[in-house]
Each structure stands twice: as C-alpha cells, then as structure tokens.
Amino acid sequence: MKVVIIKYNAGNIQSVLFALERIGVKAIVTDNAEEINTADKVIFPGVGEASSAMQYLKERKLDQVIISLQQPVLGICLGMQLLCSHSEEADTTCLNVFEKVKVRKFIAPNNELKIPQIGWNTISHLRSNLFNNIPENSFCYFVHGYYAEETLEKISTTNYIQTYSSALQHNNFYGVQFHPEKSAKVGEQLLKNFLAL
Amino acid sequence: MLTKRIIPCLDIKDGRTVKGTNFIALRDAGDPVELAMRYCEEGADELVFLDITATTEKRKTLAKLVREIATHINIPFTVGGGIHTIEDVSLLLEHGADKISINTSAVNNPILIDQLSRNFGSQCIVVAVDTKRINNRWTVVTHGGRNPTDRITSEWAKEITARGAGEILLTSMENDGTKSGFAIDITNEIATSVSIPVIASGGAGTMEHFSAIFQHGKADAALAASIFHFKEIHIPDLKNYLFENKIPVRC
C-alpha cells in the first residue's frame, strides 16, 4: 500500500511520519502531483497559518491536486480546516471540499479558558468507520485556536467554549481537528482505521 | 471537557536523565527514552525534556536523542535547553519535537519569541520563566536561579504572551526540589492574567499539591520530575486522586 503525506509549508509532518512508522507503515512525504495521485491513501497534515498555507498550495497547484483526489484522504488539524470552505484566520478562502463549512476563531469569555485550546479533550457522537474500535468520549490531543462549526458532515463533536465539529467526512475526504499522531493508543487506532478504509 | 495535564519532566545531561535540588547536586534517574515510554504507558499527558547543561555549557541539545524519543513515544513532547536561534528550533522540530522551550535566550533577546512564533507558529513555542521572590517581588531569574534580572514576573508573562508565545512554563526556584508544594500565589496571578496556558512547575511532593495548583493556582498543567522518576507518585494513582477531587483529567 502506498501512503503519501502531502509536503507543504506546515509543521509537524515528521510527527505523522513517525506515528505511521510506529504502526509499521512506511509513508512517502512529497509535493509531487504524480506521486500524490497514485497513492492508495493520502494524509494532509499540518500545524500553521491558513492563508500562507493556502497560498503555498496554490502556487504549486496542489490545491487542484487535492480536491480531485478519489482515494481516501485524511486532513489533520490545519489540513482539515483547509478542506473547509472558509477560515476566519486571515479571511482565507479554502478548498471547499467540506462545502459551506466555516472555520471560526475561538473567543474566550475570560482568561480561565485559554486560546489556543491545548491538551486532551473528548470526542463524542462518533459516526464513521474512522472510529471503529474507538469508544465514545475517548480522549484525543488538540492544539488549535480556530474550529469548524457544527455541520451535517460532522462525524464527531467536541466541546470547548462551544460544541464544534472535531471530525468531518464528505465522500472519500475525512478530516480530524485533533492530532491522531499524538493521541496515544486512540490515535494509533484511528490511523489504522484510516489505512484500512 | 478539556482536561488538566500532568507532565513529567526529564532533565537530561549527557544523554541521561538526572534530577537535582535547585538544579545542582545531580542524581542519575535513568535512560530518558525508557523513562519516556514508561510515562506514556502510565498515562502522562505530555513530556518535557530539558538539556540542563546546555545553557551553562553552551552546548546544543542533542537532536539525535530527540529523534530517538520521537520514534518511540505517541504523546506530545517539548524540548528545551540552549536554544538561541531559528536554526536551533528548525533542527529540533525536524527531528520530531512537537514544541520547543526557550528561557534565558528569551530574557536576553525577547524579539526571539516574535521570530519563532512567526516562523513556526505560537503552538510550538513554550517560554519558560524561572522566578524567585526578591525584595518580596516575584522576579525573573536565569541560569537555574543564580542570576536575578530586573524583570517583574507578571509583567514579563504579559510581554511574552503579546510577543506570540503559545504557553508559559512557570517554575518557582524557591519551591523547585523542595517537595513542599507549588507556588500557588504567583501561578494564580499569572494564569488569571494571560490568555495562554500556564504550566506550573517546582515543588510537587504530594498528590494534594497537584489538586491545589489546579484548584487554587488555576494552572492548566502541572510539571514534576523526581517524584515520578523515583516512583514516589504513580501517575495512574495521581489521576484517580484528581478525578475523585473533581478535577478534569484524562484517565
């Protein structure tokens, strides 16, 4: 099985590579369209800023490559947000795979609720093969200052300040706001589930 | 619900984990990768690795050790010690660190915080603040508490937040190594006055100390070293204790 991690100007690509290695999968990190198109599974990771990431993808025409993929695609964190329609982060038009889903900025009512959300929170209302053998209310590791609003395409929800979509699915495209590569055994199970799709 | 984090800290010297009192009189606490894996299994929420010799001896943190840790553990970890430049950070992140921590270099050159958060994102920049009461004011100190600065801790915390730090790791050098409890007053003051998470460090000796720093100190995370290394507190027992005391934790 050929697993490709899309290389772009976002952080934490190495962590995804190491996490796959831990479950015995050797992935290729590349920005080559041919390599991405011929993969069995594509992972679109990322920690970073939305507008500069979108600009980078457009300059290399990776935006067109990503939206036309037919095989299972997993967006992680910023990767998931870029698959939405629009992000409030620098007013960025995104890839619109998760049509009409808007990414909004957390607004904290006081200093006791910190932004970004950093740490372990639960995922609920799980509704996808991506969550096979993962119990309701499992803990996952989150680091983010923006969130995808609740939508029909949600396959899990999380609550921080308000309830939001912590995972989304549309056809072959999956997105998770948390970091499976850093979410201990739950995250490993999710990566295995994705590779088994 | 977002949970409070328990973070074991591994102080590294020459590739081994060590722990001393107030950063001197070091005792050997074992192989860092082995310890890290044990903490993962036990339910630690994150790990911090500090190369404690790096600042004083001007030695770079070993990227090789970071790679070794990254390939073995499945929770986030922070690496600190002797980080001065964008290149230092690049190297550590490329080798698999999730976050880096800067301390003395931020005090000496605050603009480094802006540069690092712009280049790598706030989420991976932890600014460590060592503090001590001097003339009854919590003051920023460096070099393991040996060098006082003219910065007031609460003002420095606000400045580093404004400069784009993602988290503050606050260590009371008075409490560090004493096992007499965290410094609740300064932690509460900082945690309630900045918008970014605060990790409390220094002084953990009992499970009650952890519940106090979360309930009264308003810390988002608590860090400790020797009590975990020498198995005085077992992480699953600590989590159970906190859960029973109505503190949200990942069990």
pLDDT at B60: 53
pLDDT at B189 over 70: yes
Residue of B nearest to A50 (CA): B121
| Mean pLDDT, residues B31-56 | 86
Question: Regarding beta strands B147-152 and B137-142, do their DSSP bridges make them parallel or antiparallel, or are they unpaired?
Answer: antiparallel
pLDDT at residue B138, rounded to an integer? 98
Q: Going by C-beta distance under 8 Å and a sequence separation of 6 or more, which residues neighbour residue B216?
A: B184, B188
What's residue B222's pLDDT?
98
CA B124/CA B127 separation, integer angstroms: 10
In sequence order, the β-bridge partners of residue A19 are none
Distance of alpha carbon B220 from alpha carbon A121, whole angstroms: 13
Among A112-121, A182-191, B6-15, the minimum mean pLDDT is found in B6-15
Q: Quick check: B24 pLDDT over 60?
A: no
The alpha carbon dihedral of B153, B155, B156, B160 has a sign of positive
pLDDT in tens, B163-185: 999 999 999 999 998 999 999 99
Give pLDDT, residue B55.
Answer: 54
Which of these CATH numbers, 3.30.1510.10, 3.40.50.2300, 3.40.50.1860, 3.20.20.70, describes B5-244?
Answer: 3.20.20.70
Q: Is the pLDDT of residue A79 over 50?
A: yes
Task: From B222, B172, B163, B164, select the one nearest B198 (Cα to Cα).
Answer: B222
**pLDDT over threshold 50, residue B37:** yes
Instruction: Show the DSSP H helices in B19-135 as ranges.
Output: 32-42, 54-57, 63-72, 86-94, 104-108, 111-120
pLDDT greater than 90 at residue A24: yes
Active site residue A179: yes
Q: Indicate whether this complex's ipTM tops 0.90.
A: yes
- Chain B contact for A89 (CB, 8 A cutoff): no
Decide: pTM greater than 0.90: yes
When pLDDT is averaged across residues A16-24 and rounded to a whole number, the result is 94
How does pLDDT run across A28-56, given as a tens digit for each residue? 999 999 999 999 999 999 888 899 899 99
What pLDDT sits at residue B32? 86
Residue in A closest to B89 by C-alpha: A11
pLDDT above 80: residue B61: no
Q: Tokens 């899990």: give the residue.
A: A156
Per DSSP, the three-state class of A55 is helix
CATH fold, domain A3-196, is: Rossmann fold (3.40.50)
Closest by CA position to B56, among listed B79, B81, B78, B80: B81
User: Is residue A103 pLDDT above 50, yes or no?
Assistant: yes
Q: How confident is the model at residue B58 (pLDDT cuts 50, 70, 90)?
A: very low
- A chain contacts of residue B166, beta-carbon cutoff 8 Å: 116, 118
Helices (H), chain B: 32-42, 54-57, 63-72, 86-94, 104-108, 111-120, 153-162, 184-191, 207-215, 226-229, 235-244
Dihedral angle computed from the Cα positions of residues A117, A158, A154 and A164, in that order, rounded to the nearest 10 degrees:
-60
Q: How far is B53 from chain A (nearest CA, A)?
A: 26
CB B32 within 8 A of CB B63: no
**Distance between CA atoms of residues B21 and B243, nearest Å:** 30
CA distance B195 to B127: 14
- What is the amino acid identity at position A95? L
Which site among A14, A52, A106, A118 would you substitute to test the B interface, given the most B Cβ atoms closer than 10 Å to its Cβ? A118
For residue A181, indicate whether it is catalytic.
yes
pLDDT of residue B29: 62
pLDDT attached to residue A111: 80
Q: Name the nearest CA neighbour of B242 among B230, B221, B226, B231.
A: B221
Residue A23 has pLDDT above 70, yes or no: yes
Predicted pLDDT at B28: 63
pLDDT in tens, A110-149: 888 999 999 999 999 999 999 999 999 999 999 999 999 9
User: Which whole number is the average pLDDT over B55-72?
Assistant: 73
Span B43-63, mean pLDDT?
A: 74
Domain ranges of chain A: 3-196
Marked catalytic residue, from B45, B88, B130, B220: B130
